[in-house]
Amino acid sequence: MSSTWVPHGHILDKDVEEPYQNAKVSIDAFGKGHHSIILIEDLCRLTWFPLPDFKSNSQIPPSYEVTKGPNKAKVCDLVTRSLDKTHKWYLFSFHEGKEKQAQVDNSAESGSTININIKDLENRAQDYCKEFFDVHRDVDLVYVNTFSGVSVRFWSVRRGDETLRGFWGGDEKDHFEHYRDVGLDAHFHDIERALLRMRPVSIPPVGQVFSQIGTVSLGGLSVT
């Protein structure tokens, strides 16, 4: 990698640059999503939730009620857990991704256009939350990140509602214009505000350490 590399957006570690570029250029007609999933894992472990009191694991089912057979539990691409005050791990965020799945419309009316199909991605993430609430009766709120290529959208889901509610863009689903590129400086603050909302209050914003809280401003963001 070039020695002139500089951080951009939420790509703040050189080790995340290659996964970012792979996810950015890949078009997977089958929607396997492995490049996006690698990017999610690296962002969570190196940038977004890097502290010892977090851990992010892949292929985790929302519940373990059914582990075998045709009705075995679905698994999420990645989940992030945090330690509570009793030093027990609790799940607070699902992360689900896929490639930028190309759907080319060659009809005479439209010309040749490419749409990003994210409806299935968002529905799948919402289903994980419903299944999670069914089993974990003491949990009333979880967060969700849906990734397509290098773009992310943040959601919250509450018990009793169990519908994805966007951190921005209202609650409209299947709208790629509401997704934010994790590598763009212009999208940094939307993503950082979402992370501040998700993280326990003791966790510093991206790019800060504990000693800087209350002394450093990130473009007008309150970090106290």
pLDDT at 160 over 80: yes
- Over range 150-164, report the average pLDDT: 93
| Alpha carbon distance 212, 24 (integer Å) | 33
Question: What pLDDT, on a 0 to 100 scale, did the predictor assign at position 60?
Answer: 64
Count of structural domains within the chain: 1
Mean pLDDT in residue range 142-152: 91
DSSP state of 132: H
Q: Looking at this protein, which amino acid is placed at residue 169?
A: G
56 lies in a domain? yes
DSSP state, 100? Answer: -
Say what percent of the chain tops pLDDT 70.
68
The pLDDT assigned to 163 comes to 93
Measure the CA dihedral 2/46/80/203, to 10°: -130
Q: Are 24 and 18 in contact (CB under 8 A)?
A: no
Asked if residue 23 is part of any domain, the answer here is: yes
pLDDT tens column, 98-141: 755 544 444 444 433 344 568 888 998 898 888 888 888 888 99
Q: pLDDT grade, residue 94 (50/70/90)?
A: confident
Q: Which of the four pLDDT bands, split at 50, 70 and 90, describes residue 20?
A: very high
> CA–CA separation, 154 vs 187, rounded Å?
13
User: Is residue 183 a part of any domain in this protein?
Assistant: yes
Say if 148 falls within a structural domain: yes
Please, are residues 53 and 212 in contact by the beta-carbon 8 Å criterion?
Answer: no
- The answer for residues whose C-beta is within 8 angstroms of residue 98's C-beta and 6 or more apart is 28, 31, 32, 33, 36, 118, 120, 121, 147, 148
Kindly report, residue by residue over 24-81, the tens digit of the pLDDT. 876 555 545 688 888 989 999 899 988 787 888 876 655 544 444 444 556 777 888 8
Note whether residue 4 is domain-resident.
Answer: no
The reply to whether 175 falls in a domain is: yes
Residue 5 lies in a domain: no
Give the tens place of pLDDT for each residue, 180-189.
999 999 999 9
Domain extent, residue 81, equals 14-212
Report the C-alpha gap between 194 and 143 in whole angstroms.
10
Classify residue 22: in a domain, yes or no.
yes
CB 5 within 8 A of CB 17: yes
CATH number of the domain that residue 45 is part of: 3.90.1570
What is the C-alpha to C-alpha distance for residues 148 and 99, in angstroms, rounded to an integer? 6
Alpha carbons 143 and 74: distance in angstroms, whole number: 18
Report the range of poorest mean pLDDT among 5-14, 66-75, 142-151, 189-198.
66-75
Mean pLDDT of 169-189: 93
| Contact in structure between 82 and 54 (CB atoms under 8 Å) | yes
